[in-house]
Structure 1
Amino acid sequence: MTSATTSSATAGRPHRPHRSRLNRLLHELWFQVVLAAVLGIAVGLLLPGFGEDLKPLNDWFVALVKMIVIPVVFCVVTTGIASMSNLRKAGRIGVKAIGYFLVLSLASMLIGLVVANLFHPGTGLNIDPSTLNADDVPQAAQEHATFTGFVSSMIPASLFGAITGDAILAALMVSIVFGVALNMSGEQGAPLISGIRALSDVVFRIVGWVMRLAPIGTFGALATVVATYGAESLKQLGYLIILFTATCVVYVLVVLGAIMRACGLSLFALMRFLKTELLVALSTCSSEAVLPQLVSKLETLGIGRPVVGIVIPSGFSFNLDGSAVYLTMASLFLAQAVGIDLSWQQQLIMVGVMMLTSKGTAGIAGGAFIVLASTVTAVGHIPLAALSLIVGIDRILNEGRVFINVLGNAVATIVIGKWENDFDTARAHSVLHPSKTPPRQAAAEDTEVARSR
């Protein structure tokens, strides 16, 4: 009996590693998100009626994340600035970040412009503008944003109202002012700084809990999208979808890849490190859905809190490179579809208008579509009703926009961190390439990261 038991145990051993690997995968958040995405697509295709009813799952998840975004911004930015030995550093970081954002946004728009001029995605549709119905354009897009509205959105009704509200720009401004005031208060502000740091620990614990619900939000989002638009949505205006997706891929590999190589890091390693955040952003089509976790991970990567605290919140308002590519491509697509030939001068004017209007819809769901409406209205060359041509596929195009927006802001934070000499390159290499890090060194770094939190 003993030999039989031994032989059976031996026979069962080869299967244990597979089971243990599967168990580890099932406990990984990114794998749960992928699994939820597959199930959501299946439900949307096989049970479309049920799939449409699952929309609240995604809405609830995004609402929970937005609930915690402003506290994260306040804690990170305030403590980052308050702990600076030199306030000039905060101003320097802000100026460098804005300069970087403007250059990348302009480059992104010009890339979209060149691609649309080379491949003419809208040529051949021959749409008569008089047959289009402006009622198909969402009301929020028709009430386009203005630059004065953008400035007004930065000024909250009250100091603490910005912290309890949902406007990132207003919260960012109040956090910067509050952090500067604490920094200048000296010892009198020390107890308050300690209290905000303690609050930060509590806030990030809540972030961890909320992110565990990401698979549920992913499942509901994809089930609803597939059920609403169906498999045919993948064929509708397919050329534009394929061309935009290909442009996004090339942008990531060429532009962001080159920037990461200049920083001495691997873009693919960064994408593996942020795989959960990128998957959640793709499935929910919301950049804000990953902002809290992105802040935490970039600090773990070795970037100083002042840099992360200033670059990430401002980047999610000013550095939307994926949206920038979309804006110029979509504008030229609409012009080509209705048979309007825009000169290079008109196209460059359009880019200039977009550089302004794109700053007025930060944090608004479907903000890029609203910016597109603003530009079409301001420039006046394309009828507003033409937007009805891409309303149905805007959700699909949003996938590429959100992916680049999140990844681009992570890259921007690394760039500014290295520019400011506030970046631990050794820790970044050990985090991005754990297999190449000696076990003792990795354990010591993990302990250091845990203590810093």
Structure 2
Amino acid sequence: MMRSVIEAEAPAPVPAQRLPLYRSLYAQVIAAILFGGLLGHFSPDVGVALKPLGDAFIALVKMIIAPVIFITVASGIAGMSSLKALRSVAFKAFGYFIVVSSFALVVGMVVANVVQPGAGMGIDPTTLDPGAVASYASKAHEQTIVGFLMNIIPTTFMSALTGGDILPVLFVAILFGISISLVGAPAAPVVTLLESASEVFFRLVGVLMKAAPLGAFGAFAFTIGKYGIDVIANLAKLVATFYLTSALFVLLVLGAIARLNGFSILRLISYLRAELLLVLGTSSSESALPNLMKKLETAGCGKAVVGLVVPTGYSFNLDGTNIYMTLAALFIAQATGVDLSIGEQLLLLLVAALSSKGAAGVTGAGFITLAATLAVTPSVPVAGMTLILGIDRFMSECRALTNFIGNAVATIVVSRWEGALDRQALETALNSPAGIAPPEQQ
């Protein structure tokens, strides 16, 4: 059943307890990133050697993403009043994704034309080594629309939960939830089981999050140790342009969307600050996916809407990746002296809109989709990607952060459109002071 606004006579929630600063995940991850960065800078070899810490933490989180999505989506759909409500959520979510993510592509293109971060570099394309990006290009060639759609259908029901991809899990979860809804009362024990399993898995998420500072420490130490801060200085204009454009997109575009739907983007960012720092430290938005789903439910978003919009958004609502793709593509064109006409830029925009769909919110996905885009627009040399290969890790962090915030905004907006947003819970969550732990973390 869709969540409705809490009635006035409902009992007031029990105030959450204030956690000591040293026990706050937010403070722990900040400290881990700082120490990791310092270690990577002053002892690069040690920082690089700590890469397994970050990889292990991401692997731990990815281990539980599939069951969390399956349980949340299946139980949420089972609790819907009708399948018509499911169609409504899906149509509104995809409508939002198409409009906002396409606008992000346009923003990246406009900024690239105005700022022109690659102008004057005078790079000869024949001097570039295509072998440096060969692996990304080969993966990009494997991405076709038909292949992407076929990969959504898993080989077996269970393989969806073990394959590591989000969309097959979402696919079987939707089918399973619809089946439960159609069976009706006889399936009530299954719904009860899913709800109990949900409690167990989200408790497991809380346990695994204890290792988040360690994972962020290892991942950030590796990033600084491997690539060094000096790499950013060589392409400072592009990095600064991308970060500033993403920040303005979040504050102005997503901020305006948030304001029109009755909440503050800054308060939402503050509410998700611990998860955002985790994304920054690990350079992967998937590392905070389970916590994002739980926090959005706590903030009053309907369970079914959260279950559908968040996982789908991780593949179809990648605002940061879209800004990066058009900005980076035009940077490469400018740096290599390729003068693209308006028609060629529009073709690039169209190709980018298609190739960006299906990219997972993990490290390197943006680079692969950029390769796919350039492969279809031969005017810009794919080998030009070597110019930004060294800084892609730093760009990946900004992509992941922007994608993460964009999906949080999308979920709240679609919940409001569906009448599945508890306004009182949202206000309570977004206005909670720093250091207050939500009930599930105490």
TM, length-normalised to structure 1: 0.90
User: Residues 45-444 of structure 1 correspond to what in structure 2 (within 5 A)?
Assistant: 45-144=41-140, 145-363=143-361, 365-434=363-432
> Percent identity among equivalent residues?
44
Alignment correspondent of 2:8: none
391-400 or 141-150, which moves further after superposition?
141-150
Shift of 1:165: 2.3
Contact map agreement 2:320 2:403 (CA 8 A) in 1:
yes
Whole-angstrom distance in 2 between the partners of 1:141 and 1:361: 15
CA distance in 1 between partners of 2:70 and 2:170 (Å): 7
Question: Which structure 2 segments of 5+ residues have no match?
Answer: 1-17
Q: How far has the Cα of 1:302 moved from its partner? A: 0.5
Distance 2:138 2:343 in 1: 25
Give the Cα–Cα distance (whole angstroms) in 2 for the partners of residues 186 and 62 of structure 1: 38
Show CA shifts across 1:377-411 (max 9, x none).
11211111111111100011112111110011000
In the TM superposition, structure 1's runs of 4+ consecutive aligned residues that sit over 4 Å from their partners are: none
- Tell me what 1:438 maps to: none
Tell me which residue corresponds to 2:23.
27
Which stretches in structure 1 are left out of the alignment for 5+ residues? 1-20, 436-441
Tell whether the 8 Å contact from 1:167 to 1:363 is kept in structure 2 after alignment: no
Q: Does the alignment pair 1:41 with 2:44?
A: no
Structure 2 counterpart of 1:124, which letter?
A: G
- With 357-366 and 336-345 compared, the bigger mean Cα shift is at 357-366
Equivalent pair of 2:136/2:367 in contact (CA under 8 Å): no
Q: How far apart in 2 are the matches of 1:160 and 1:234?
A: 43
- Give 1:98 deviation, angstroms: 0.4
Aligned with 1:212: secondary structure? helix
Report the Cα distance in structure 2 between the residues aligned to 1:360 and 1:85, rounded to whole angstroms: 30
Q: Is the contact made by 2:108 and 2:326 (CA closer than 8 Å) also made in structure 1?
A: yes
Counterpart of 1:5?
Answer: none
In the TM superposition, residue 212 of structure 1 has moved relative to its aligned partner by 1.3
Cα deviation digits, residues 264-290 of structure 1 (max 9, x gap): 111111111100111001111111111
Tell me which amino acid in the other structure corresponds to 1:109: L
8 Å contact 2:283–2:362 — kept in the other structure? Answer: no
What displacement does 1:189 show?
1.2
Deviations 1:239-277 (A, max 9, x none): 100111111111111011111111111111111110011
Task: Tell me the matched-pair count.
Answer: 420
Q: Could you say if the C-alpha distance between residues 105 and 66 of structure 1 is closer, same or farther in structure 2, counting changes exceeding 3 Å?
A: same
Between the aligned partners of 2:232 and 2:376, the Cα distance in structure 1 is: 31
Measured in 2, the distance between the counterparts of 1:168 and 1:363 equals 10
Structure number with the bigger relative contact order (C-alpha 8 A, sep ≥ 6) is 2
Moved more, 248-257 or 136-145: 136-145
Give, as a single letter, the amino acid of the residue that structure 1 aligns with 2:116.
H
SS of match in other structure, 2:414 = helix
Q: Shift in Å at residue 323 of structure 1?
A: 0.3
TM-score scaled to structure 2, two decimals? 0.92
What CA distance in whole angstroms lies between the structure 1 residues aligned with 2:148 and 2:253? 29
Higher CA-based Rg: 1
1:362 Cα deviation from its structure 2 partner: 2.5
Provide the rounded CA distance (Å) in 2 between the counterparts of 1:138 and 1:147. 21
